[in-house]
């Protein structure tokens, strides 16, 4: 018997297939419901939206293909410019301030002990559970130019009552302030979860190392909750780019052309003017902006944290 | 290098007292081990020396300074934590230099100290890694490095070996001993592992239930335990305890009669023993031999073959169990009738309050 024969006589070790058919089938069955829902509810509408942006079409019903005409029109549209910059301004006013404020409050709350901690946390979190209509009513009443509870305070500084939501330079900062008040509870919660993840022993080691409070925050606490900070910033960025309700409600009856955001422009084009193609075009641009900004921000901030 | 003095130190958490009037002196350059079961207060005591826990009463002195009102960083001690407590986002170098940067030490001096510590602990090749990229043993060494660079008056170790596997623990234990020989600095080491305590300590503080049971050298603790708790806690396998039926005097020393009427002559002076109350005989397994000429009989329940010796768990006539030693190649089997000889010279007696009485000298 030759060496080759010998080799072939030895049975090859049974190779276990990495996946067997039953496993694959089981995996598919588990994943399928989500894939179907995701395809029907997200992928298909997204593709339809992109397709619609190349058409002159009403919101419902057939349209005609017009290539990039909607996009050309969009970049020449003054209202789109206003809506775009209003949205960016709102994002600037809310995302970083809200994150920083939430971090500061979370650090403060984390130092509290026992029931005071729970009560203070609840105080900050309760606004988050309110529907936007209630938030609108509460703050609309508080800022009311005649009877608003805050007007005496405003009058103290500027000498007279100010219709905050009818004064253009104050509109966005006021809505941003209210939005931060409304949503900060969730961010605080995320930061507190992050802070509680840091082992107390690390702070004890820092105490033995003679670390000052400020240095403890800048060199230990913040670097350790940097991933949470990146997460909060990204969630905030996405949420605030989609601003609609607050601007729509507080701006209602005012100069809505001047206070409009991008989602409001989509709503007006598609639902009020029945221009589905143009509305879809604005939506595609907003979608692209959110994806680009959030991915860029997430990657850049994460990279900074890893350095 | 400095001594550490605790004077009537007490501590309570809420209504629970965790340390009661503890006083002791840890000599300068001494390796002191706090030994005791979980919850006995040994870690709390260490943390009180470090300044991580306030004290409710008493005083703590390090060197010539009273420190119990000072923050941890001003006490001149460095601590190695059970879970190392390294800064996870900092490199090994930064972990070691962070404390020195806090006191604004010149950069060159920091670099020199970190390099020296890294060399001593063989961390040079890991200096730019982060803790997450290190093994448990390496993290342990970084934590020690962080303590060394501060050149403290005393090192405090809070169960630093408990997270290592058995092999690494044994090696690191030897490294701790070498580190102490080299640095000759005061070291306080908390553990519940008696082998660590026995092998590392100049002196051991055995703690139980918030109090100090005994302070002494390892051999003192082993051969002359102050209480039944110490006798039972130190030594593996644990000391045998047998009820005493009667004590009589023979040449001034106690002659112990066991429930099965066998007699054991001890070297414990009868004059020192209490006149009333039940006494218990304590004798370590190595002092009870399987011996065909032995005077105590029983039946072997369990046999443990450890290689160099064999342990026999022998049930006596009164149903009490004695652990006895036999040679490594013992032919003893479960169920065999066994005769035991007791080396009464090394036996102890314990009174009803668990106070120990040992042989003189």
CATH class of B240-357: mainly beta
* A210 in B contact zone (CB under 8 Å): yes
Would the pLDDT of B306 be above 90? yes
| From-to residues of CATH 3.40.50.300 in chain B | 4-227
pLDDT for A304 equals: 64
SS3 B150: coil
Is residue A176 included in any domain, yes or no? yes
Kindly report, residue by residue over A147-179, the tens digit of the pLDDT.
Answer: 899 999 988 888 888 898 988 899 999 999 999
Kindly report, residue by residue over B152-196, the tens digit of the pLDDT.
Answer: 999 999 998 888 888 888 888 888 898 899 888 999 999 999 999
pLDDT for B318 equals: 86
The rounded Cα A205 to chain-centroid distance in angstroms is 36
pTM: 0.80
Q: How many domains does chain A have?
A: 1
> How many CB atoms within 10 Å of residue B208?
19
C-alpha distances in Å from residue A50, one per residue of A38, A63, A76, A269: 17, 13, 20, 16
Token pair for A36: 């179907």
Quote the CA–CA distance of B210 and B56 in Å, as a whole number: 14
* A224 in B contact zone (CB under 8 Å): yes
Phi first, then psi: give them for residue B326, nearest 5 degrees: -135, 170
Quote the CA–CA distance of B349 and B269 in Å, as a whole number: 11
Would the pLDDT of A8 be above 80? no
Closest approach of chain A CAs to the CA of B133, in angstroms?
14
Quote the CA–CA distance of A211 and A204 in Å, as a whole number: 10
| From-to residues of CATH 2.40.50.140 in chain B | 240-357
| Cβ–Cβ < 8 Å for A54, A70 | yes
Residues on chain A touching B150 (C-beta within 8 angstroms): 209
Over residues B199-216, the mean pLDDT reads 93
- Among A124, A103, A108, which Cα is nearest to A194's? A103
Token pair for B233: 């806690």
Q: What is the CATH architecture assignment of B4-227?
A: 3-Layer(aba) Sandwich (3.40)
First to last CA, chain B: 34
Residues 6+ away with beta carbon under 8 Å from B43: B158, B159, B190
Concatenate the DSSP letters of all residues of B77-124 into one string. Answer: EEEE-TT----TTS-HHHHHHHHHHHTT--HHHHHHHHHHHHHHTT-G
Over residues B86-90, the mean pLDDT reads 94
Bridge-based pairing state of the strands B309-316 and B321-327: antiparallel
Quote the CA–CA distance of A153 and A144 in Å, as a whole number: 12
Would the CB atoms of A207 and B87 count as touching at under 8 Å?
Answer: no
Quote the CA–CA distance of A157 and A135 in Å, as a whole number: 25
Looking at chain A from residue 34 to 63, which residues have their Cβ under 8 Å from any Cβ of chain B?
none
* A212 in B contact zone (CB under 8 Å): yes
Kindly report, residue by residue over A206-215, the tens digit of the pLDDT.
Answer: 999 999 999 9
| H helices present in chain B, as ranges | 42-50, 92-102, 107-120, 136-148, 166-183, 194-200, 218-223, 228-233
Is residue A185 included in any domain, yes or no? yes
Quote the CA–CA distance of B249 and B312 in Å, as a whole number: 31
Q: Nearest-CA residue of chain B relative to A307?
A: B89
Is residue A22 included in any domain, yes or no? no
Domain extent, residue A107, equals 78-306
Residues paired with B191 in a beta bridge: B35
> How many CB atoms within 10 Å of residue B187?
24
Output the domain CATH number for residue A161: 1.10.3720.10
Task: Work out the mean pLDDT of chain B and round it to a whole number.
Answer: 92
Kindly report, residue by residue over A55-81, the tens digit of the pLDDT.
Answer: 998 988 888 999 999 999 999 999 999
| Cβ–Cβ < 8 Å for A286, A266 | yes
Would the CB atoms of B72 and A207 count as touching at under 8 Å?
Answer: yes
Token pair for A125: 């979190």
Bridge-based pairing state of the strands B203-208 and B31-35: parallel
Would the pLDDT of A302 be above 80? no
pLDDT for A3 equals: 42
Is residue A50 included in any domain, yes or no? no
Identify the residue among A209, A214, A229 best suited for mutation to test binding to B, counting B beta carbons within 10 A and taking the highest: A209
């Amino acid at each position: 018997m030759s060496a080759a024969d010998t080799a072939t006589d030895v049975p090859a070790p049974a190779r276990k297939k990495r996946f067997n058919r039953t496993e694959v089938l089981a995996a598919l069955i588990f994943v399928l419901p989500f894939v179907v829902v995701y395809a029907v509810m997200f992928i298909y509408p997204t593709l339809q939206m992109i397709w619609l942006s190349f058409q002159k079409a009403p919101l419902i019903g057939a349209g005609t293909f017009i290539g990039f005409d909607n996009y050309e029109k969009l970049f020449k549209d003054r209202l789109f410019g206003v809506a775009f910059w209003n949205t960016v301004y709102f994002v600037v006013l809310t995302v970083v301030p809200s994150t920083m404020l939430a971090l500061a409050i979370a650090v403060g709350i984390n130092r509290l002990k026992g029931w005071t901690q729970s009560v203070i946390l609840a105080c900050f979190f309760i606004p988050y559970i309110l529907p936007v209509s209630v938030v609108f009513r509460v703050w609309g009443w508080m800022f009311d130019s005649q009877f608003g509870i805050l007007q005496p305070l405003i009058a103290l500084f500027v000498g007279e009552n100010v219709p905050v939501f009818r004064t253009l330079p104050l509109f966005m900062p006021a809505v941003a302030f209210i939005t931060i008040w409304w949503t900060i509870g969730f961010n605080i919660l995320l930061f507190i979860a992050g802070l509680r993840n840091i082992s107390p022993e690390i702070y004890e080691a820092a105490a033995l190392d003679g670390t000052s409070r400020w240095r403890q925050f800048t060199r230990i606490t913040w670097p350790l909750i940097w991933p949470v900070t990146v997460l909060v910033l990204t969630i905030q960025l996405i949420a605030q780019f989609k601003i609609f309700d607050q601007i729509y409600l507080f701006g209602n009856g005012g100069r809505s052309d001047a206070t409009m955001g991008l989602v409001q422009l989509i709503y007006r084009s598609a639902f009020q003017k029945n221009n589905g193609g143009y509305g879809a075009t604005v939506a595609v641009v907003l979608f692209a902006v959110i994806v680009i900004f959030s991915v860029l921000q997430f990657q850049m901030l994460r990279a900074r944290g890893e350095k | 290098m400095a001594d550490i003095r605790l004077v009537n130190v007490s501590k309570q958490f809420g209504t629970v007292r965790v340390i009661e009037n503890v006083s002791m002196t840890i000599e300068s350059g001494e390796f002191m081990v706090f030994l005791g079961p979980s919850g006995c207060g040994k870690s709390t005591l260490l943390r009180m020396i470090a300044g991580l826990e306030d004290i409710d009463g008493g005083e703590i002195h390090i060197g010539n300074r009273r420190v119990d009102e000072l923050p941890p960083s001003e006490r001149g001690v460095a601590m190695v934590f059970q879970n190392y407590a390294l800064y996870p986002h900092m490199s090994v170098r930064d972990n070691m230099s962070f404390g020195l940067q806090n006191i604004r030490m010149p950069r060159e001096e920091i670099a020199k100290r970190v390099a020296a510590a890294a060399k001593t602990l063989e961390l040079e090749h890991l200096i730019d890694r982060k803790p997450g990229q290190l093994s448990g043993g390496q993290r342990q060494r970084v934590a020690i490095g962080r303590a060394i660079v501060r050149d403290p008056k005393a090192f405090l170790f809070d169960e630093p070996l408990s997270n290592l596997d058995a092999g690494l623990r044994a090696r690191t234990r030897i490294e701790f001993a070498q580190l102490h020989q080299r640095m000759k600095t005061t070291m306080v080491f908390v553990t519940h592992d008696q082998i660590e305590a026995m092998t590392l300590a100049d002196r051991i503080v055995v703690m139980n239930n918030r109090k100090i049971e005994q302070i002494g050298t390892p051999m003192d603790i082993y051969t002359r335990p102050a209480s039944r708790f110490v006798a039972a806690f130190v030594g593996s396998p644990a000391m045998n305890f047998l009820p005493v039926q009667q004590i009589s005097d023979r040449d001034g020393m106690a002659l112990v009669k066991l429930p099965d009427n066998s007699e054991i002559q001890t070297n414990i002076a009868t004059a020192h023993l209490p006149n009333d109350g039940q006494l218990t005989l304590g004798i370590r397994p190595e002092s009870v031999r399987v011996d065909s000429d032995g005077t105590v009989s029983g039946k072997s329940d369990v046999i443990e073959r450890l290689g160099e010796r064999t342990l026999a768990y022998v049930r006596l006539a009164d149903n009490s169990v004695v652990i006895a030693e036999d040679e490594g190649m013992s032919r003893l089997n479960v169920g065999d009738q066994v005769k035991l000889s007791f080396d009464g010279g090394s036996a102890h007696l314990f009174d009803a309050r668990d106070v120990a009485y040992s042989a003189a000298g």
